[in-house]
Each structure stands twice: as C-alpha cells, then as structure tokens.
C-alpha cells in the first residue's frame, strides 16, 4: 500500500491536529534543513510517544516498573523476559552482564535456584 517508509509516515501524520501538528511541522523543518534524518514509521511512533510523555519521564517510569518486576509463580519465563525487554527498550542501554544479573534477581526464587544449580528452567 505504501511504496516507502516516508509515505507511510506522511499518511499517518496527516491526522495530526493542534499542538502535535505544530510539533510535527517543526520536526519536518529540521529534516528539511538536514539537521535530522527522515523518520521511518518506528521513528514516527517514538515521536508520538514523546509527545504523550516526555522521554526522560518515560525512561523513569520504565525503570520504576523494571525495578519492581518479578516473575510470578507459574509465569512462563519467556513471557517474563519479553516483558523485561519491552521495559529495557525505554531505558538506557544495559550491558549483557547487567541484563543477566537483573533477570536472575527478578526470577521466581524456585526458578532462580534451578538455574543456579544448572537445571532446566522452562516453566
């Protein structure tokens, strides 16, 4: 339906009104001056999220949720990891070592013990 990412963004942007439209116009002006690269649809989605919640506050909210996250008893480990990864995308980048340590501390205690003992951790 859309030949390019920019045409997809242009289609979506036509529905902006008021202040969001003004912010988008400013963003487009920066792109035309060569100050910013044209946005793909993922960049446009981030632009919209930034309009809704300030990026720094979004990071703080994600960090608070991340710090409070713990695997529930019976929760599939893959679903829990996916939830943590979703929060991590909103936060400052982690090293693999940090991610591994944080995941281990957030797992359900029984699951964590099985992993530390070298057992299979499905479930």
pLDDT along the chain (123 residues), means of 10: 89 92 88 76 88 87 93 93 92 85 88 78 53
Instruction: Classify burial at 44, counting beta carbons within 10 Å of its beta carbon; exposed 0-12, middle 13-18, buried 19 or more.
Output: buried
Give the model's pLDDT for residue 71. 94
Give the model's pLDDT for residue 28. 85
């Amino acid at each position: 339906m859309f030949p390019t990412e920019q045409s997809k963004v242009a289609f979506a942007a036509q529905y902006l009104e008021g202040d969001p439209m003004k912010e988008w116009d400013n963003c487009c002006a920066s792109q035309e001056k060569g100050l910013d690269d044209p946005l793909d649809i993922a960049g446009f989605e981030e632009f919209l999220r930034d309009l809704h919640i300030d990026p720094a506050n979004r990071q703080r909210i994600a960090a608070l949720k991340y710090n409070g996250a713990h695997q529930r008893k019976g929760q599939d480990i893959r679903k829990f990891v996916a939830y943590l990864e979703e929060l991590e995308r909103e936060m400052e980048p982690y090293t693999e070592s940090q991610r591994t340590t944080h995941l281990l501390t957030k797992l359900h205690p029984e699951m964590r013990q099985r992993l530390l003992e070298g057992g299979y951790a499905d479930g």
